[in-house]
Amino acid sequence: MSAPRYSSAGRQVGSPKPKTRGESSSSRRTQPRAELLTVPVNAESKDTLCRNVLIYGHCRYENSGCAFNHDQNRTTNQNGQSPQGLQSEVSTKRFNVDSPSFTPTTLQAAPGSATTTPVKKSTFSSQAASAASFVPRGTSTTPSAAKDTESSASLFNPAKFQEFTPQNFELSPNVSTNGAASDAGLTFDAFSMANLNQGLPQTPFNPYAEDPTALASTGAFFQQQNPFAAHTQPLLYHLYAPLGQHREGLLPYQRQTNDFFLPEKIREDAQRKLEAAHQVMNNTALPNIDHYSSLVPLDTSNRESSTIFGYTSWVYKATSQENGKTYFLRRIKDFRLSNEQAIRLVKEWKKVHNGSVVSVHSAFTTRKFQDSSIIFVYDYHPLSKTLAQHHFPQQQTNRYNTRPTVTEDVMWSYITQLANALQAIHKLNLAARCIDASKIILTEKNRIRLSACSILDVLHYEARRPLGELQQEDLTQVGRLMLSLASSTPANSITANNINIIMQQMGNMFSEPLVSSLMWLVYPSQNGETKTIETFLSKISSQIMANMDMMLHQNDALTSNLYSEIENGRLFRLLCRLGTINERQEFDGDRQWSENGERYMLKLFRDYVFHQVDANGQPVVDLGHIVRSLNKLDAGSDEKICLTSRDEQSVFVVSYKELKKQIGSAFGDLLKGRPSAGRGF
């Protein structure tokens, strides 16, 4: 008989009938049953749970003398507690993570066994009793901590633990570095200004960049947002949001092509002015004056006139060689400057910055015209004409030879603009002295400016008059000019004899406030008081506000047209890229530029936008489709389109975003001077 495998029958603690391996079946059958239950019953065997209960859920020998414990809810009293204290403890359920792990103990050796295994104790070591208590990181302990505070300290407090904080993120000043804060600081007040004080990145956010977060400094990925604010997103160029004045609701077929662009009248007017500003004359005998070249005469008549200044004057357009800008030159012929202090008065006029006065830049003398002349330099307003040319044309084109009538609204517009100019001039202790229809230019519709200021101050420097007298004369000249325009009578024809008759005629055509205002300007004051421009402005304050409202509406209309034109430059750049990429014959041998490569889709997109045909093969010209497709391409929309070749053998389904990347890649290859090698989307 071989040696037994186990040294003791107590190894098989789960069996109620311990036996040795060497015993035969015949000997087991012949032994009395009472001798099989010879395992001594002690405290450990009574407290050890039977393995049959753990494995099978029950023990068939429970009532037949099994010495182990069969009650799973029974707890051991190892610490010497009373039975009453044991009843108060919570029973441990099966498969509970809080239950202690099972540690088998060793039974006493059965009779006849050679050795015994020592019993394993489940007590803590002596070093564990003196170990320091566990303290979580971030909390502090005091030596005098009482035992009653241990229970409260064991409660879970989320503020004591560190939270995850991304690196390089701009934190608010009232938040600590590790993200921990007291419970009192977790409250949020939506109406507190302190919560709105969030720092922005050092570099401004650029929504037009491919990766706008890469342009900012540290923490750019976490963009700062105000409370309840919408996320910042790039503009969607294919969605128009026109501002300003809107037209009536029109159906698509009722809209015109120019609705997408600047109004035709404004465009033509701007083009004519640009053409006039760049106009030059070849084979001209006009010399270059100082640093002004390319002189172009602006006088419409060769007849010399010296009515206003007492000297013959000519006007020119010239280009400055210093800054390349265009200026308006007024030449006073045959004038000899006797005092240098006279020309220095121009510096005082350079301080006048008013929308109703043409700005003065400089004045100098010259002998380039083979005589002694003085030149005054002003801002140039192309295609401007004087009030005399507009309201008193020399050649009548009307079959009845009637001059254009002036309405009351136009009269009030002229009066308010001239009053605005006089207020700015008189405020600087100056006088206009040149309020005449031939020296007031009309730059826009009903937009007038004084264009000959400072000339009489220089020419009549030796015969200076009192400033108050000159300012009174300015008001009288404004009244006489308005009477001339209202009655279609030249200003030099209005005398003291016929002025009363003209006033009576105006009373039949215009309102009483306009007539009374002109009478206040023309006639001297009855009580001998000095008339001032401030007094006149107070009399016409209601009309000033009405004209200001009209100008604001005009500004809104121009701003709305500007918003509609802001897209043209962007679409033009996109068309330039498409035009330079398509039909590149020098890259026919390159795989990427062939009809099987990536650049072929750009050619099909060109046909999709510009070369559409209907079911009968007739060309379809849809400007709305062209603008809409280009806007979506420039915005990089995720919308997919179907591109078909002309022979209908190749079909591509691609998004605008992919096409935009292809355009950028292909255009970058052209800038490098060579096609790409295997570059994809």
Q: What is the CATH number of domain 271-394+404-554?
A: 1.10.510.10
**383 labelled ligand-binding:** yes
Backbone angles phi, psi at 578, to 5 degrees: -65, -40
CA-based torsion, 128, 129, 130, 133: positive or negative: positive
Structure letter (DSSP) for residue 137: T
Q: Pick out the chain residues at pLDDT < 50.
A: 1-38, 75-93, 106-122, 138-153, 168-186, 194-197, 199-201, 210-225, 227-232, 236-238, 240-241, 677-681
Residues 372, 431 contacting (CB under 8 angstroms) = no
Judge whether 287 and 370 are in contact, CB under 8 Å.
Answer: no
Beta bridge partners of 320: 292
User: Rounded to whole angstroms, how far apart are CA atoms 519 and 532?
Assistant: 15
- Residue 19 host element (H or E): none
Residue 34 CB-half CA count within 13 A: 0
Q: State the virtual CA torsion across 92, 95, 96, 100 in degrees, nearest 10.
A: 70
**Does residue 122 have a known ligand-binding role?**
no
User: Which residues, at least 6 apart from 570, have a Cβ–Cβ distance to it below 8 Å?
Assistant: 237, 634
The 8-class DSSP code of residue 599 comes to T
Tell me the two tokens of residue 6: 């186990």
CB atoms under 10 Å from CB of 112, counted, come to 8
State residue 498's pLDDT score.
85
User: Which residue from 635, 631, 627 is spatially nearest to 255, judged by alpha carbons?
Assistant: 627
Q: Is 381 annotated as a binding residue?
A: yes
**Start-end of CATH 1.10.510.10 domains in the chain:** 271-394+404-554
Asked whether 656 and 637 are in contact (CB, 8 A), the reply is yes
From CA 372, how far away is CA 312, in angstroms rounded? Answer: 12
Model pTM above 0.75: no
Report the C-alpha gap between 251 and 217 in whole angstroms: 49
8 Å CB contact between 609 and 629? yes
Asked if residue 330 belongs to a known ligand binding site, the reply is: yes
| Under 8 Å between Cβ of 348 and 410 | no
Yes or no: say if 592 and 678 are a contact pair by the CB < 8 Å rule.
Answer: yes
On whether 439 is known to bind a ligand per the annotation, the reply is: yes
- Amino acid, single-letter form, for residue 409: D
Q: Which positions ≥6 away from 340 have C-beta within 8 Å?
A: none
The ranges of the chain annotated as CATH 1.10.287.3700 are: 568-672
Give, for 220, the enclosing helix (H) or strand (E): none
Question: Is beta strand 640-644 parallel, antiparallel or unpaired with respect to 651-655?
Answer: antiparallel
Tokens coding 625: 């489709």
CA 498 to chain centre: 63
Instruction: List, for residues 64-96, the tens digit of each pLDDT value.
Output: 888 888 887 764 444 444 444 444 444 444 555
Strand arrangement, sheet containing 440-444: 385-386, 440-444, 447-450
User: Which CATH number does the domain 568-672 belong to among 1.20.200.10, 1.10.1270.20, 1.10.287.3700, 3.40.250.10?
Assistant: 1.10.287.3700
CB-CB neighbours of 105 under 10 Å:
16
Contact 356, 449 (CB under 8 A): yes
Residue 234 CB neighbour total at 10 angstroms: 12
| Side chain identity, residue 642 | C
E strand or H helix that includes residue 315: strand 313-320
Distance (Å, rounded) from C-alpha 91 to C-alpha 110? 34
Structure tokens at 178: 């590790």
Structural tokens at position 349: 């006029």
Q: 438 labelled as ligand-binding? A: yes
Encode pLDDT of 86-130 as tens digits.
Answer: 444 444 445 555 555 555 554 444 444 444 444 444 455 555 556
C-beta separation of 278 from 383 below 8 A: no
Tell whether residue 11 is among the known ligand binding residues.
no
